[in-house]
Amino acid sequence: DTEVTQTPKHLVMGMTNKKSLKCEQHMGHRAMYWYKQKAKKPPELMFVYSYEKLSINESVPSRFSPECPNSSLLNLHLHALQPEDSALYLCASSRPDSGNYGYTFGSGTRLTVV
Amino acid sequence: AQSVSQHNHHVILSEAASLELGCNYSYGGTVNLFWYVQYPGQHLQLLLKYFSGDPLVKGIKGFEAEFIKSKFSFNLRKPSVQWSDTAEYFCAVNEGRDDKIIFGKGTRLHILP
């Protein structure tokens, strides 16, 4: 299995809703990432988990809450989002010392906040 | 802080033309360098990577890139492009001491059939 699986593929939520994005990989990767990608822009790093511990938070607003329940799963909990948070949310994974190996990306969740 | 510059924002070529996309990075220490491709409606895929050794790196689909340390560059090349190469191309850099990869703004490549 050489994939990163993200669910759901599409999500529409209101500004008062609570929802979660899910990411799963079974490649034995111990680093996992959330990126946000707006249309025609590069991916922007949000969070990095290394060995199931949060190692990097790129000053992301608290309405985004990451969780890594185990080495294969990464969640992103969403609450009280704004319309400008609408974007493609990408999950990625890598072996530790990811620079040497590169990331494997999921296909993303396209989020629309209404 | 590291940064990545891609100078060509939008490139239009005819099939069989040669391609070179520029990428420069700012970090002066040890770096790991990547090119990713994103085909329309699809997820990011790794084209090639450099972390040590031969500065000329060969990737998938006939792409290659050359790391020139003195110029802080990692340009992507392909001798003869195909219509199927139409995509967005992202250069990315990692300092090699943490897990963070930073992406350039991307180059949108459009190949005319």
Dump pLDDT digits (tens) for A17-76.
999 999 999 988 888 999 999 988 899 999 999 899 999 999 999 999 999 999 999 999
pLDDT at A96 over 80: no
From the first residue on, what is the mean pLDDT of each consecutive set of 10 residues in chain B (113 residues)? 86 96 87 92 89 92 95 96 96 80 93 92
Residue among A31, A94, A99 minimizing CB distance to B96? A99
Which residues in chain A are contacts of B96 at CB distance < 8 A? 97, 99-100
State the sign of the Cα–Cα–Cα–Cα dihedral A62, A64, A70, A72: negative
The rounded mean pLDDT for chain A is: 91
pLDDT score of B43 = 83
pLDDT score of B7 = 87
pLDDT score of B97 = 67
Q: Using an 8 Å Cβ cutoff, are B85 and B110 in contact?
A: no
Which residues in chain A are contacts of B32 at CB distance < 8 A? 99-100
Six token digits for residue A103: 């990331």
For chain A, the residues whose C-beta falls within 8 A of a C-beta of chain B are 31, 33, 40-45, 48, 50, 55-56, 90, 92, 94, 96-108
Distance CA A113, CA A12 (A): 6
pLDDT band at A97 (very low <50, low <70, confident <90, very high): low
If you write DSSP's letter for every residue of B25-70 in order, what string do you get?
E---S--EEEEEEE-TTS-EEEEEEESSS-SEEE-GGG-EEEEEGG
Measured in degrees and rounded to the nearest 5, phi and psi for residue A90 equal -110, 135
Measured in degrees and rounded to the nearest 5, phi and psi for residue B84 equal -70, -5
Beta-carbon count within 10 A of A10 CB: 9
Which amino acid is present at B68? I
In the block, which residue shows the tokens 């040590």?
Answer: B52
